[in-house]
Amino acid sequence: MKNNQLSIRLYGRPVGILEQTPTGKMRFTYNASATQAISTSMPLRDEPYDPIASEAYFGGLLPESDAIKKIIGKRYGISAHNHFALLKAIGYDCAGAISCHEIDEAITEQSSFPLMGNIMTKDDLYEHIIALPQKPLFMDDVNGLRLSLAGAQDKAAVCLIDNQVAIAKNGCPTTHILKPSSRAFSGMAENEYFCLRLAKKIGLAVPDIQLRKINDITFLLIERYDRRIQNMQVERIHQEDFCQALGMLSSKKYQNEGGPSFKDCFDLLKNTAQPAIDRNNLASALVFNYLLGNMDAHGKNFSLLHHSTSNIRLTPFYDMICTRAYPDLTSKMAMKIGSKYDPALLFPRHWEQFCDDIQYRYIAMKELIKHHSELMLKISTDEKEILISEGYDVPIINEIIKVMETNIRQTLERFDE
């Protein structure tokens, strides 16, 4: 067994070798038998991919939080900065259909798994959620979980069995993401739930989502779009976020730090199975995020689904939150529109410049802004009442509506000038 190599498998089939070089960097090489690329940034080829390309993709499978990586590292006796070792420890159930294995680990090539898990009692689930900051990803020595989720927030990957939260077992891929409300930002779970419901009502594709409460903790259960469940069998579907697809490091997910721009994102969609539809959907999402006040729509919050080599599509949208409802968070957008990061400085000429950059019709963009504005104003109060009827009467919803109404009024006034 080689300690400096991992067998990288796609849908359980070996696709290549991830190697840790003597300098501690990662290098990936496809097997000669590989038939499907793991990333649009890493097409099939004989030559190894250098550490920069390898880190952009494989590092992007790991949690972004340094605190979470330190806890994982401490548990496994490895450095929090050693991404190869972290993947070796927790890289079995990653986003998409990628899994990391010891070189000599048996190959099963299993395409589907029975939906199996240990259903948690209400008390167990509460204790697990409370312990998330100390035990990220619901890591438990008894269950020996080996799963990884990208992102910076506290979250866990679980299964939903008979509408009950369960810890996956016997190699079953997880089916849902559990996200508790943030301790630092009040009402974060209700915020995301409300915003995703609005997004769905205006026609955006979003994952199925539930808002639940245990004692004093509110949490989200988000169905994974990179899993398919049929007849109590779970299948993985390969996916990658835009940073991975563009070969950019997760640490540079914001445009002003060298991360993706909207032009990069729209150009990426020129090569999907249905470019026009995907580009229109991304335009719809960016207008929604702008009007909503979501300043955190960065490169890792958009992804591609790889149904096959020739069938790559934009995924449903996720992590749609009104960040402007929290005064301590930035007022600058993660990606600029035209030449502006600050919505307060954004005028029609900047939208026109933006449309030129992404090769999108300006008239169509103006109609999209008008359509979303009218619909969001119309449905937001109804959605608020639904949330209240479900037992979630929280101040953050009023703040979201206030931010949204201000953004919409300012935008429409400027287009009418």
Smallest Cα–Cα separation from 335: which of 222, 225, 248? 248
Using alpha carbons only, give the angle 295, 299, 301 rounded to the nearest 5 degrees.
Answer: 70
CA 52, CA 252: separation in Å to the nearest integer? 13
CA 67, CA 136: separation in Å to the nearest integer? 10
CA 287, CA 166: separation in Å to the nearest integer? 37
Strand ranges, E, within 74-216: 98-102, 113-114, 117-119, 156-161, 164-168, 176-180, 209-214
Please answer whether residues 55 and 26 qualify as being in contact, where contact means their C-beta atoms are separated by less than 8 angstroms: yes
Which listed residue (296, 342, 357, 393) is catalytic? 296
Edge-to-edge strand order for the sheet containing 227-230?
113-114, 233-236, 227-230
Residue 249 contacts by C-beta under 8 Å, 6 or more apart in sequence?
Answer: 55, 56, 59, 60, 243
N-to-C CA span, the chain:
69
CA 140, CA 136: separation in Å to the nearest integer? 9
The reply to whether 296 belongs to the active site is yes
| Single-letter amino acid, residue 199 | A
Residue 25 contacts by C-beta under 8 Å, 6 or more apart in sequence?
Answer: 51, 54, 55
As given in the structure block, the two tokens for residue 90 are 């927790």
| Single-letter amino acid, residue 46 | D
CA 18, CA 7: separation in Å to the nearest integer? 7
Please answer whether residues 298 and 219 qualify as being in contact, where contact means their C-beta atoms are separated by less than 8 angstroms: no
The residues facing 114 across adjacent strands are 233
CA 36, CA 30: separation in Å to the nearest integer? 10
Please answer whether residues 334 and 249 qualify as being in contact, where contact means their C-beta atoms are separated by less than 8 angstroms: no
Please answer whether residues 27 and 48 qualify as being in contact, where contact means their C-beta atoms are separated by less than 8 angstroms: yes
Q: Catalogue the active-site residues.
A: 296
